[in-house]
Amino acid sequence: MVIVMTTKIPVGISGCVLGNKVRFDGGHKSNRFILDTLSEFFDFHPVCPEVEVGMGVPRPVIRLIELEGRTALVQSKNESVNYTDTMYRYAENKINTMQPKKLCGYVVASKSPTCGMQGVKVYQQGGVRKDGTGLYTAKLIEKMPWLPVEEDGRLNDPVLRENFIARVFCLYDLYQSVSDVPSPAEIIAFHSRYKFTLMAHDPLSYRALGQMVANIKDTDINEFFVQYRLGLMNALTKRASRKNATNVLMHIQGYFKPFLNPVQKKELTRLIHDYRQGVLPLLVPVTMIQHYLSQYPNAYIAQQQYLNPYPQGLKLRYGL
């Protein structure tokens, strides 16, 4: 089933990554894939926390330090200028205003003391550790734990790129499929379309979420939606392994066995095997399955989002 996009998908982004000249030195760090490709599908909402709290452009360099048992945001050359509480208050308010927009993802600037997601330098007595998170992004993840968040630099990795974009499209599909006042029928129908996707990413979550959905009528529907959304997005954060994806492909293959002749069966088996061995990308066996689906229609397989998780024009499965 192909996701029908009635509008572009709302996605937050660090302003500098979108090309806005808001960095400390008046520069930017625009990402061509975002500007040239993703902008066709995503409606980006740029944010620069440092500018929006009044630091200005250009501005003194800031960094994270360990201060009295907590991570603080200060000027690098004058640590008495402390932005920690100001940034936390800003982040709290900003994120509250963004939640009604139903953002489906967020791209943050790597290594930034405000926006970095991981590996941000934190200065302390005796040295520097590189396991920090920017204060704004830390608050974003705390308040919206279901939201797909990724760094601009990591989008250069084809596996991380595909995983992030698949999660964004999945969350968008969830919001499009389920009303503001959710119904059990809407959630059950949505979950049914993502069974193979969950099997590929996290078999344990596939079973756990399936059990949740089976008992949906025994819970408060609004609380259920919140818990289901979080469980779904956490499951998809785990990248689909070749082993799990192979199991899904073989499962789908089983639906066609009554219709395929021996030569066709052997060819599809070979493509799946070659994918598992890393000889072929995922796109090849999936394309063959879609070909057989057009010849031998199956309503259950056709609705599975695993076969069409995002527009083919993104070419994301070429590198998987």
How do residues 249-288 score in pLDDT, each as one tens digit?
A: 999 999 999 999 999 999 999 999 999 999 999 999 999 9
Contact 66, 55 (CB under 8 A): no
Q: How many CA atoms lie within 13 A of 195 on its CB side?
A: 16
Specify which residues 74 forms β-bridges with.
63, 82
Q: 245: Cβ–Cβ under 8 A, 6 or more apart, which residues?
A: 200, 275, 282
pLDDT, one tens digit per residue, over 78-123 is: 999 999 999 999 999 999 999 888 999 999 999 999 999 999 999 9
Q: pTM (2 decimals)?
A: 0.95
pLDDT, one tens digit per residue, over 176-221 is: 999 999 999 999 999 999 999 999 999 999 999 999 999 999 899 9
